[in-house]
Amino acid sequence: MGPAGETTNMEIDLSLKLDAQLQKTQQQTQDHQELGEFSVEGKRKAEEAIEEDKSLDNNSLSAETMKTEELSVLQMEMDRMNQENKALRKAIEQTMKDYYDLQMKFAVAQQNVQTKDDPRTFLSLTGTSDCPNQDQNKSPRFLKINHHQTVLSSTSQKNDCTAEGRGHDQLGLSLTLQSNTGQLKEDDDIRNVETKEDGTAFTPLHSKIQRTGSVGGGNITNHVSTSTPPNRKARVSVRARCETATMNDGCQWRKYGQKTAKGNPCPRAYFRCTVAPGCPVRKQVQRCLEDMSILITTYEGTHNHPLPVGATAMASTASSEASFMLLDSSNPLSTDGTLLSSNFNRTYQFPYHNIPHMTNPISTSYASNLINIHPNIDPFKGLVLDLTNNANDSADARQFGINNATSSTQQLMGYSWMRNKPFLPSNYIGNNSNNIGGGMMGGPKGEGNKSLAENVSAIVASDPKFRVSVAAAISSLINKESQTTSTSHPPPRDGESGGSSSSSKNWILESLSPSGKPAQNSTR
């Protein structure tokens, strides 16, 4: 039996002691209440006696005085009992409060133990790997979660890792949720065809799948058609700067098609998960037209297998996103499958003070700015994680990564991942995964005019611990929401008994290794 078992025993012991204490306190209260009843009874009897005495001798002054004194004594006794009752009630309330506090602390402690034991949980809100003195388990960052303007939790702790040349001794990792409750116009056309940020029409996958009933083999068809209610198929879009053809998300993918979508010369590649046979999860990968460095990856479906170690949130968020989308009571999506038109927008802001990568003056001067990550829950796209831009852009442009784009040509010339290959949209995705030399951070010198957004995005893309931190924060948030709502609305999903439900914790934002190559690439 490991630490977990000990903590379990501790919980039991704690509960027993608290229960005993509670019982004792309650017993005392009951006794006092009985005493109170007795005193009332005594008072009644005394009054009867007084009446009797009155009837016997109404003119006896001495007896009357005695009885009056007796009454006052009884009255005082009653008052004392009442005060004791109040005190005991307060004691019970305090005990209950302490009990719940201890329960909460125990839950947190237990979660930490599981975090250490479970290699799939990358809850590391520590800084970068460049700090040698850093103890990942002892230096959690400031994590503040604002949800609908309500602070759900906040902890702050000093960080030992100090970025060179900067006065900050603490990385403030602030996870802010903003709920945009602005209503979109009800428009059936929007429901049928969603317009993607790159201007291409994007028909929801699930509608096709459910209509055609012949997607990728019968097993998949059955899974989709029987397990997922209409319009609810989990869907996660991730926008991230990525130099490789696909994002390394820990899962194995097999490319089964490629299509040039209308409005975007960059072809859209179609992948299916090959970790387990019959896994229905698909993903689409396409470069953003406005900013070729942005890779739009759309995941759809729920893994029917435990995710491999290192599988990302993007690959596994199907369940999380579904929970988020279907279970969040504040989510404007109704639970009866009707799509509402509200735009559910949230912004995760990360003041990133303590980044050793940010050594150039431009980056440093903006070091206190916030990095905005937009998990934009769109009724038609599902969850959209935008890991591309900074807080200085306008909302829309920030979401779509437009502001950074100068022109396509400039973009292509500006990114190292394009340098070894001419711009050939038709074979763009899927062919260039092996000729990536050096990431954005390790790219050629003389990029002083590179925008802040690119620097920040590069940090997000190149700093694995920051990605993990972001992922953990978002994951915990989504899990929290799922838990708070799951009791009333259990997720209507199947095929995720081991994999997706548990794997919803495993968020790793798309990453490049510092060398600019993914640790694992599904394409070759």
Nearer residue to DNA within complex by CB, 246 or 451:
246
Q: Is 119 in the site for DNA (CB under 7 A)?
A: no
- Least Cα distance to 372 among 259, 460, 476, 501 occurs for 460
Among 19, 211, 337, 520, which residue sits at the site for DNA (rule: CB under 7 A)? 211
Q: Which amino acid is it at 147?
A: H
Among 282, 287, 357, 517, which residue sits at the site for DNA (rule: CB under 7 A)? 282
Nearer residue to DNA within complex by CB, 322 or 452:
322
Q: Mark the segment that binds DNA (CB under 7 A) among 17-25, 37-45, 174-182, 210-218.
A: 210-218
CB 160, min distance to DNA, A: 42
Query: Which 3 state secondary structure label does DSSP give 55?
Result: helix
Among 142, 202, 299, 400, which residue sits at the site for DNA (rule: CB under 7 A)? 202
Query: Which 3 state secondary structure label does DSSP give 121?
Result: coil
Exposure string (b/e) for 435-465, b if CB count within 10 Å is 16 or more?
ebbbbbbebeeebeebbbbbbbbbbbbbbbb
Q: Which amino acid is it at 412?
A: L
Site for DNA, residues 394 to 453, rule: CB under 7 A: 426-427, 430-431, 434
Among 182, 257, 490, 498, which residue sits at the site for DNA (rule: CB under 7 A)? 257
Which two structure tokens, joined as six digits, stand for 107? 């839950």
Phi, psi of 98 (to 5 degrees): -60, -40
CB 432, min distance to DNA, A: 9
Q: Mark the segment that binds DNA (CB under 7 A) among 101-109, 130-138, 200-208, 477-485.
A: 200-208
Among 39, 95, 258, 513, which residue sits at the site for DNA (rule: CB under 7 A)? 258
Among 200, 335, 364, 501, which residue sits at the site for DNA (rule: CB under 7 A)? 200
Q: Mark the segment that binds DNA (CB under 7 A) among 81-89, 254-262, 310-318, 408-416.
A: 254-262
Among 232, 239, 255, 493, which residue sits at the site for DNA (rule: CB under 7 A)? 255
CB 150, min distance to DNA, A: 37
The total of other beta-carbon atoms located within 10 Å of residue 22's CB is 15
Q: Is 259 in the site for DNA (CB under 7 A)?
A: yes
Q: Is 263 in the site for DNA (CB under 7 A)?
A: yes
Q: Mark the segment that binds DNA (CB under 7 A) among 96-104, 199-207, 397-405, 456-464.
A: 199-207
Nearer residue to DNA within complex by CB, 284 or 500:
284
The total of other beta-carbon atoms located within 10 Å of residue 161's CB is 21
- Least Cα distance to 68 among 54, 83, 79, 55 occurs for 54
The angle formed by the CA atoms of residues 21, 23 and 26, to the nearest 5 degrees, is 110
Nearer residue to DNA within complex by CB, 107 or 201:
201
Exposure string (b/e) for 494-513, b if CB count within 10 Å is 16 or more?
ebbeebbbbbbbbbbbbbbe
Angle between helices 464-486 and 452-462 (to 10 degrees): 80
The angle formed by the CA atoms of residues 254, 278 and 210, to the nearest 5 degrees, is 95
Q: Mark the segment that binds DNA (CB under 7 A) among 120-128, 250-258, 399-407, 472-480.
A: 250-258
Q: Is 192 in the site for DNA (CB under 7 A)?
A: yes
Among 201, 395, 413, 519, which residue sits at the site for DNA (rule: CB under 7 A)? 201
Specify which residues 272 forms β-bridges with. 254, 282
Using a 10 angstrom Cβ sphere, with 0-12 exposed, 13-18 middle and 19 or more buried, the burial of residue 282 is buried
Any idea which residue has 């899962």 for tokens? Answer: 251
Among 143, 215, 384, 508, which residue sits at the site for DNA (rule: CB under 7 A)? 215
- Where along the sequence are the contacts to DNA (CB under 7 A)? 189, 192-193, 200-205, 207-209, 211-212, 214-217, 253-259, 261-263, 268-270, 274, 282, 284, 426-427, 430-431, 434, 522-524
